[in-house]
Structure 1
Amino acid sequence: MRVLFIVNIAGLESGILTYAKELKEALSKEGIAIDVDRLDSKHYDLIHVHNPFPSFFLFETMLRFYGTPVIYSANMTENQIRGLAPETFKLPARQYLNFFYSRCEKIICPSEKVVNDLQSCRDKRILLPYPVDLNKFKKDEKSGLDFRKKYGITRQIILCVASIQERKGIFDFVDAAKSFPQYDFVWVGEIPDTHTLKYKRRIKRIVNNPPKNVIFVGHIEKNELYKAYNAADLFVLPSHSETFGLVIAEAASCGIPVLIRNLQEFSYFSDFAQMFSNQAEFKHKIKQIMENPGKRKSLSDLSLNARNKFDVNIHIKRMKEIYESVLNKK
Structure 2
Amino acid sequence: MIKINMFSRADSVKGQGVGSAYLELIKLLRTRAQDKLDVSINHLRRADISHYHTVNFPYYLSTFLPFLGKKIGYVHFIPETLEGSLKIPQPFRAIFYHYLISFYKRMDHLVVVNPTFIPKLTAYGIKPENVTYIPNFVSRQEFYEVPTEEKKVLRQKYDYDSRFTVLGVGQIQERKGVFDFIELAKRLPNVQFIWAGGFSFGRMTDGYTELKKIVDNPPANLRFPGIVDRDRLVDYYNLSDVFLLPSYNELFPMSILESFSTGTPVMVRDLDLYPAIIEGKYIGAKDVNEMERQLRELEQSPEQLTHLQTVAREAAAYYSEERLVTIWEEFYQKQANEDK
2: CA distance between counterparts of 1:127 and 1:273?
Answer: 21
Q: 2:29 aligns with which of 27, 30, 39?
A: 27
Q: CA deviation at 1:328?
A: 0.9
Deviation at 1:87, TM superposition (A): 6.0
- The within-5 A match list for 1:111-126 is 111-119=114-122, 120-121=125-126, 122-126=128-132
CA-based RMSD: 1.9
Q: Note the alpha carbon deviations across 1:174-225, whole angstroms, 9 max, x for none.
A: 0001011111100111112243322111111111111100011112222322
Q: In the aligned structure 1, how far is the partner of 2:68 from the partner of 2:317?
A: 38
Distance 1:136 1:11, change over 3 A: closer
Q: Distance in 1 between matches of 2:291 and 2:89?
A: 28
Is 1:102 the counterpart of 2:110 in the alignment? no
Q: Does 2:234 match 1:231?
A: no
Q: Sequence identity, in percent?
A: 23
| Cα distance in 2, alignment partners of residues 317 and 159 from structure 1 | 32
CA distance in 2: counterparts of 1:144 and 1:180, whole angstroms:
22
CA displacement at 1:309 relative to structure 2:
0.7
Match of 1:286 in 2: 295
- Equivalences for residues 31-46 of structure 1 within 5 A: 31=34, 32-39=37-44, 42-46=45-49
Q: Output the TM-score relative to the length of structure 2.
A: 0.90
- Farther off after superposition, 79-88 or 127-136: 79-88
The within-5 A match list for 1:164-203 is: 164-203=172-211
Q: Is the 8 A contact 1:260 1:273 kept in 2?
A: yes
Partner SS for 1:132: coil
For 1:252, the equivalent position in structure 2 comes to 260
Code of the residue aligned with 1:79 in structure 2: it is E
Aligned to 2:151: 144
Q: How many residues align?
A: 326
> What amino acid is aligned across from residue 299 of structure 1 in structure 2?
L
In the alignment, structure 1 residue 49 sits paired with structure 2 residue 58: no
- Per the alignment, residue 309 of structure 1 pairs with 318
Change (3 A) 1:180 1:26: same
Please give the per-residue CA displacement for 1:245-286, whole angstroms capped at 9, x wherever unaligned.
121121122111111011112221221100011121111111
Q: Which moved more, 1:81-90 or 1:161-170?
A: 81-90
Distance 2:308 2:89 in 1: 39
Amino acid of the structure 1 residue aligned with 2:254: L
Distance in 2, matches of 1:269 and 1:125, equals: 20
Structure 2 CA distance for aligned equivalents of residues 69 and 147 of structure 1: 47
Match of residue 6 from structure 2: 5
Q: Is the 8 A contact 2:202 2:208 kept in 1?
A: no
Query: Does structure 2 retain, via aligned residues, the 8 Å contact 1:165–1:192?
Result: no
Query: C-alpha distance in 1, partners of 2:99/2:251?
Result: 18
**Residues 302 and 110 (structure 1 numbering): CA distance in 2 closer, same or farther, change over 3 Å?**
same
Deviation of 1:327 (Å)? 1.2
C-alpha separation in 1, matches of 2:190 and 2:211:
23
TM-score with structure 1 setting the length: 0.92
For the Cα contact (< 8 Å) 1:144–1:229, is it kept in 2? no
Cα distance in 1, alignment partners of residues 96 and 294 from structure 2: 37
CA contact (8 A) 2:48 2:68 kept: no
What is the 5 A alignment of 1:65-104? 65=66, 68-83=69-84, 84-86=86-88, 88=90, 89-104=92-107
Letter in 2 for 1:210: P
Q: Is the 8 A contact 2:15 2:228 kept in 1?
A: no
What SS does the aligned partner of 1:329 have?
Answer: helix
Amino acid paired to 1:86: I
Shift of 1:146: 4.2
